[in-house]
């Protein structure tokens, strides 16, 4: 598992289509992901077509939540988000986030406070 995260970090950022614009890194807005809700979260699923919370990446584990990044998930419908596992799109809340962590095959977790809400795999 550690090797997967290391590979994600070393990924060629050119593939993400990064450009510099007035000092802010920009990239394609969304990536496709597979979301799997934790059993506790299944009792209180989002009622809208988007969901935003804090992500926990392996690279940040030692200093989390002090070095956490917010992720926004968008669903095709609120009904889709009520499945235990489903596809959605994801993006960071801010443009200067570490976009290389959203490379295909990368895995991270979503938290609500200190409670794990979901596991996410970038497709």
User: Domain span at residue 41?
Assistant: 2-122
Q: Into how many domains does the chain fold?
A: 1
What is the model's pTM? 0.76
CA torsion angle 98 100 105 111 (round to 10): 0
pLDDT for position 19: 39
> How many other CB atoms sit within 10 Å of the CB of residue 60?
17
What is the per-residue pLDDT for 79? Answer: 81
Query: What pLDDT does 77 receive?
Result: 83
CATH number at residue 115: 2.40.30.10
- Would you state the pLDDT for residue 16? 39
pLDDT at 53: 96
In order along the chain (123 residues), what is the average pLDDT of each group of 10 residues? 42 37 52 96 91 94 91 88 93 92 95 96 97
């Amino acid at each position: 598992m550690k090797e997967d995260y290391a590979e994600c970090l070393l990924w060629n950022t050119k593939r993400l289509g990064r450009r510099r614009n007035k000092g802010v890194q920009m990239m394609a807005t969304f990536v496709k992901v597979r979301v799997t809700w934790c059993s506790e979260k299944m009792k209180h699923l989002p009622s809208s077509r988007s969901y935003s919370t804090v992500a926990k990446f392996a690279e940040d584990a030692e200093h989390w939540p002090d070095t956490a990044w917010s992720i926004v998930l968008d669903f095709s419908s609120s009904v889709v988000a009520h499945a235990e596992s489903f596809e959605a799109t994801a993006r960071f809340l801010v443009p200067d986030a570490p976009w290389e962590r959203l490379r295909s095959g990368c895995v991270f977790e979503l938290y609500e406070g200190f409670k794990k809400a979901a596991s996410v795999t970038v497709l």
